[in-house]
Amino acid sequence: MDFDLAPPIGVGPLRIGMPRQSADTALDSLRDPSAISESDKPGQHVFRPSGLMISIQCTRERLEAVELGRPSTQTDRVTFQGLDIFATPARELVRRMAEHTPIDADPDAPASFTAPDLLLGFWRPFAADDEPEEEQGYFFSSVLLARPGYYDTPAEAAQRLPQGS
């Protein structure tokens, strides 16, 4: 199955801002009924037979973020504008994303990146850009799609508040 990231809207049936109950139902719909993982936690995350992990984060009873973890097989693909997020080497993915939008290295985890205008975050535990055999560092391990404001600093969040609040 292909999962196309559509920031800031969502991915598949998961829509940023949807009510928690609807998000739980949408997440459950992504399970493969013929191969339900013992690791699944309803309302939190599911693991598909490919190894793809899909996790939801809700705040104030609304879907705030969706995280997808790298599958172990290509049965499921996560894409953004034709780029296969987990099959494209991390360094190449960053380069190609930078052709269309700003993308920043995380100052606390330099192997990870954020595309703030798209509300996408890309994570890997360490960089091994020249070692294709070292999959955990050569490819991204997860991608997070979030609501507007998710990456704001406290000062940026305060600026978003209506005047007089």
Residue 165, pLDDT > 60, answer no
The confidence band for 35, taking pLDDT boundaries of 50, 70 and 90, is confident
Query: pLDDT at position 113, please?
Result: 94
Residue 162's pLDDT band, with cuts at 50, 70 and 90, is low
Residues 6 or more apart whose CB falls under 8 angstroms from that of 160 comprise 149, 152
Least confident stretch, 7-11, 38-42, 50-54, 110-114 = 38-42
Report pLDDT digits (tens) over 22-31: 999 999 999 9
Query: Which has more confidence, 160 or 116?
Result: 116
Whether 160 shows a pLDDT value over 70: the answer reads: no
Token couple for 81 = 């504008």
Which of 44-58, 84-98, 115-129 has the weakest average pLDDT?
Answer: 115-129
Task: State how far the Cα of 33 lies from the Cα of 48, in Å rounded to an integer.
Answer: 10
- What's the CA gap between 137 and 128, in Å, rounded? 4
Peptide bond into 71 cis (omega under 30): no
For the chain, the average pLDDT equals 90
Domain residue extents for the chain: 2-160
The per-residue pLDDT for 132 is: 81
At residue 37, does pLDDT exceed 90?
Answer: no
User: With bands split at pLDDT 50, 70 and 90, how would you rate the model's confidence at 108?
Assistant: confident
